Amino acid sequence: MPRVPQEHTDARRRQILDAARRCFAANGFHATSMQDLLGAMGISAGAFYRYFSGKDELITAIAEETIARSAEDLARYFAQEPLPPLPELLSGVPSAPIAPMLDDETQDVLLQIWSESMRSPRLRASIQVGFTRLLGLLTELMGRYRDRGELPPDADLAACARAVVGLIQGYVLQRSVFDLDDPAPFSDGLRTLLTPRPPA
């Protein structure tokens, strides 16, 4: 039997992942059946199982890819030079770095990943690599802000990093649930909260 070129294998796997993302974004992980997936992919069950052992492995692959891409987008934003003041950096989060995460498909898949990872130790472990990388980057970044006096000398840098991640997750959740399409009010609120004011 002739060997299938790697380019063909990669392209078919990409086709499967993209079709599955669309299905999961529209209907959720659990409400999407294998028949739904196969119909969207336009392939037979036999062809599917040459690439994935089942639906759970497919979900894990999509979760890993989605979290990794999101972490890369955020890493690029937080690596900007020269380093802006902390209020400016954080108030810019809802618009600049997470814009790729806010298309409807990616946003819906992200929310499902976070929800499902609460119930699935396997899924939670699979996305830990991207999450840990992002926390490490943010912890280092918080250290730079501490060193230039924008955070207290005894600041818990890891806790600050987790708070920034919580800010991002909270905005994505509010945008989805409460239709916050305009990031400006959220950014303005952050800037107001984070910018020191002299005592009255």
All domains of the chain, ordered by start, with CATH? 1-52 (1.10.10.60), 55-194 (1.10.357)
Question: Which of 7-16, 139-148, 191-200 shows the lowest per-residue confidence on average (mean pLDDT)?
Answer: 191-200
* 8 within 8 A of 1, measured Cβ to Cβ: no
In a 10 Å sphere around its CB, with 0-12 CB exposed, 13-18 middle and 19+ buried, how is residue 191 labelled?
A: middle
* 127 within 8 A of 117, measured Cβ to Cβ: yes
Give the Cα separation of 102 and 58 in Å (integer): 22
Work out the average pLDDT over 18-22. Answer: 96
Give the Cα separation of 52 and 17 in Å (integer): 10
Residues contacting residue 46 through CB under 8 Å, at least 6 positions apart: none
Confidence of residue 28 (pLDDT cuts 50, 70, 90): very high
Residue 64 clears pLDDT 60, i.e. is over it: yes
Work out the average pLDDT over 2-7. Answer: 72
